[in-house]
Amino acid sequence: MEIDALRLFQEGIANDDIEVKVQTVKKLSLVMKAIGEERVHDELVPYLTDLLEIEDDEILYVLAEQIGNAWTHVSDKLTFLPILKILAKVDETIVREEAAKTMESIESSLSSKHVQTTFVPLVMELISQEWFTGRLTSSLLIPTAYPKATNKQKEKLRLFYHRLCHDEMPMVRKAAASNIGKFAKNVEDEILEGEIIPNYAELTQDEHDNIKLAATEKIHEFIELAPSSKILLKVTKEAISDKSWKIRHCIAKQINQIIKGFGKKIASNHILDDLTTLLKDQEGEVRQEAVHSFTKCLNLLDKKKLELYLLPTLKETYKDDYANYKEGVAQSLCEVCSLLDDDEINASITPILIEMLKDDSSIVKITVLEGLVKMSEHLGVKIFDQTLIDCFKNTIKESAWRVRMSVYDLIGEIGLILGRQDFSETLEDIFLSYFSDKAAAIREKGIEKSIQLAEKFGSEWVSEKLLLKAFENYHNEEQGYLYRMCSLMTFEAVIKYISDSDFQTKFVPLLVKASQETVPNMRFCCARALFNIRRAIDTSLYADELKEIVTRLRDDSDHDVKYWIKKVSQGY
């Protein structure tokens, strides 16, 4: 006896267990393929239509979602629109939105004729519903239907959207505000200027803050479409000074897009002064968003206007109590350096950054240091005067080890930018102090950066600077074995840059001493180093010395030491 897929589907829906129902609805596409298109039209669609009146919202949501996956399996793309129209009017928001999403997907596949004869009338019917839920959904669908509508229908759709913008229900106006940017992108230029922007401007002045906020979130979309609009300029200025901090916060988040949309000339001459007031807003979150947003668009501004409005504000507010704001100020000051002359930087920016390196906040300090890396790309060694070098010296004494690690990391990056000579004259001694830092993670970071610097500077720097410091550190009797391990690991890390002479006179003696240490970890490091050395260089020249070490460690009491020596001993 043949199993009927539709009957099984109906039995699953009839089950009392909600999870069984959900899983059944998710098989809608399979059922449609199994029963064929004719039965979909004649049996499945009527069944689903009846189902809409009795099922709860969870099932309706899954149904709307699955129709979105299944409608492509029938040749008549209009098949499910009647069901979706009903779902688009229910009270539950997520059901309506999912239905609208599926309807938008279907509309994209329809010809202009089908849109004009079926889809647009359906949207208009939703708008005309007495219950407001249909109007909520229509604000999503009007922008979708508009491009393929007839001129007469377009006129009606615009009229309907105007009514939605002035609807007595705040929820409807909010929906209109949320979707008006999408509508604006689909209308003709003259309609945008003459009808849509005025409607939009009214929504930004709504008595309900949530509606104003929904509209304000779209300001950058409108500016991008009509950058020369005086109405939009006025709307932006009013939002900047709005009494609601949420509106100001919304504008602050969009500063980058607003400036980009208006363009350099309009932004610099007509809105920059207003936007900079957000940097001094009474709400910390507004200030924070504003400064981070400004950082992304400094190169879009006129240099003179930037110096006139933005720079003075940054200089004035860098001592703000809000750490996240100060972090943004540091980023902005470092970014703006690429637009200023060297003298201006040294006179205006560097002193502030030096002051910010003394801040109590670790985040601020690290941000300044990261900014100095960027500045060194632009200015080179010129920024590293004695005052700044002294700041680096003080910063590596920080109690917070993460700050110290950032310092060593960034000094290494700066070294790669400056080159050997400039690095040696400025930050090299500070960097090499990583050997004696009390945090293991920092010593490991120092070794990591040393490898990069060795690759950049070559064997001569390794011999004259790095190994000399490592050798000296190993023989510092005031330090424990962990610091000696750091020296040994540094030698091992840069082995391919070590000359034969240094290997013979510096590294081999260290290995001999390490193999005689009473601390097992030191002997372990020695054994592992021997293995890695053999993989990196030809050790035949030092066979006698290294064989002596291998012989000594072959019967070591530590299991890990013997493991590495066993791997090494085959070659000696």
Residue identified by tokens 């005067």 is 385
Task: Tell me how far CA of residue 88 lies from CA of 107, 117, 187, in angstroms.
Answer: 15, 19, 24
Report the topology of domain 228-317.
Leucine-rich Repeat Variant (1.25.10)
Which CATH code is given to the segment(s) 334-457?
1.25.10.10
Query: CA 463 to CA 261: how far, in whole Å?
Result: 55
What is the phi/psi pair of residue 565, to 5°? -65, -35
148: its two tokens: 């393929």
The pTM is what?
A: 0.79
- Of 286, 198, 199, nearest to 240 by C-alpha is 286
Query: CA 292 to CA 143: how far, in whole Å?
Result: 33
Query: CA 274 to CA 271: how far, in whole Å?
Result: 5
**Could you tell me which residues come within 8 angstroms of residue 376 by beta carbon, excluding any fewer than 6 positions away?**
383, 384, 414, 417, 418
CB 373 within 8 A of CB 410: yes
- Of 530, 459, 471, nearest to 498 by C-alpha is 459
Predicted pLDDT of residue 24: 92
pLDDT along the chain (572 residues), means of 10: 79 90 92 90 92 85 92 89 93 93 93 95 90 92 96 96 95 96 96 96 96 97 96 97 96 96 93 94 94 90 87 87 88 85 82 86 86 78 79 86 90 90 92 94 95 95 93 90 93 89 87 92 92 74 76 89 85 54
Query: CA 532 to CA 571: how far, in whole Å?
Result: 13
Query: CA 234 to CA 248: how far, in whole Å?
Result: 14
Predicted pLDDT of residue 1: 42
Query: CA 290 to CA 280: how far, in whole Å?
Result: 9
Query: CA 183 to CA 258: how far, in whole Å?
Result: 19
Predicted pLDDT of residue 500: 84
**Could you tell me which residues come within 8 angstroms of residue 397 by beta carbon, excluding any fewer than 6 positions away?**
404
Predicted pLDDT of residue 157: 96
